[in-house]
Amino acid sequence: MVDSDYWRRYYEVTAERPAWGTVRKAIELFREEDAAAAAAHPGAPPRRRFAVDLGCGAGRDARELLRAGWRVLAIDNEPGARTAIEAATEPELRPQLEVRVGDLGGVEIPECDLVNASVSLQFLKDQAFDATWGRIMAALRPGARFAAMIFLDRDESASDPEMSCPPPERIQDGLIDFQIEMWVEKEEDSQSALGEPHHMHLVELVARRLR
Ligand SMILES: C[S@@+](CC[C@H](N)C(=O)[O-])C[C@H]1O[C@@H](n2cnc3c(N)ncnc32)[C@H](O)[C@@H]1O
């Protein structure tokens, strides 16, 4: 059963795990762009990037962003996530981190350079998923990116009416205004972070808004 105790154990197990490849790829792409801009405009002040991490958990991705010099708004509806992310984040990085306890189904997503959502959007029911997708898109201006790990329709969670596991075409249609820079679909009999067997079908994606 996925309750606060489940998430507390999940945060214990994942707090020290490395960031996902999706957020690392997004950071690298921004780093390349910012280095090119700095070379073209020597003397211009360096740009501090801003990310919103949706369903941040214990903050493995948020910390990667903070270490790369980003400012991060980390959002999760579990109060335990706030405790975990704050405990795991190095004190010198804390000033650039804001943690909000809120439901992705309704929380405001401010305009930002990157929205990151690692294995969190599937916990929204269909309508909330669509509404959240709309708020993610509204937060991203041309040049901004969306990095995500999204459960797809052959994941075993797809039969759960409380969750959303869309077909890949639906994600691609939703990214019509984006250049897809990373799209890795995976399907395998796997294990959850807590060691439970799980038939997993997901996409790892990074996309850059074009228009
Ligand atoms: C599988 S964990 C992933 C955590 C983190 N992104 C990571 O990769 O380690 C999913 C996270 O989403 C959060 N979550 C689930 N439903 C949510 C909702 N409706 N609003 C906000 N957070 C939610 C959970 O509390 C949990 O921290």
Residue pLDDT, tens place only, 142-199: 999 999 999 999 999 999 999 999 999 999 999 999 999 999 999 999 999 999 999 9
What residue ranges line ligand 1, CB within 6 angstroms? 7, 14, 55-57, 60, 76-78, 81, 103-105, 118-120, 123-124
Residue 61: per-residue pLDDT: 98
CA-proximal residue: ligand 1, atom 9 (nearest): 57
The beta-strand segments (E) located in the chain are: 50-54, 71-76, 97-101, 112-118, 140-151, 178-191, 197-209
Mean pLDDT of 92-109: 98
Closest CA to 74 of 50, 90, 92, 47: 50
Q: Which CATH architecture has domain 4-15+26-38+48-209?
A: 3-Layer(aba) Sandwich (3.40)
* Of 56, 50, 169, the residue nearest 104 (C-alpha): 56
pLDDT tens, residue by residue, 40-52: 999 998 889 999 9
* Per-residue tokens: 107: 């929380």
Report the separation in Å between the CA atom of 44 and the middle of ligand 1, taken as the mean of its atom positions: 38
Ligand 1 atom at shortest distance from the alpha carbon of 55:
12
Ligand 1 centroid–CA 76 distance in Å is: 6
Q: Which helix (H) or strand (E) holds 169?
A: helix 168-174
User: Residues 73-90: what's their mean pLDDT?
Assistant: 98
Higher per-residue pLDDT: 1 or 191: 191
| Rounded CA separation 32/65 (Å) | 15
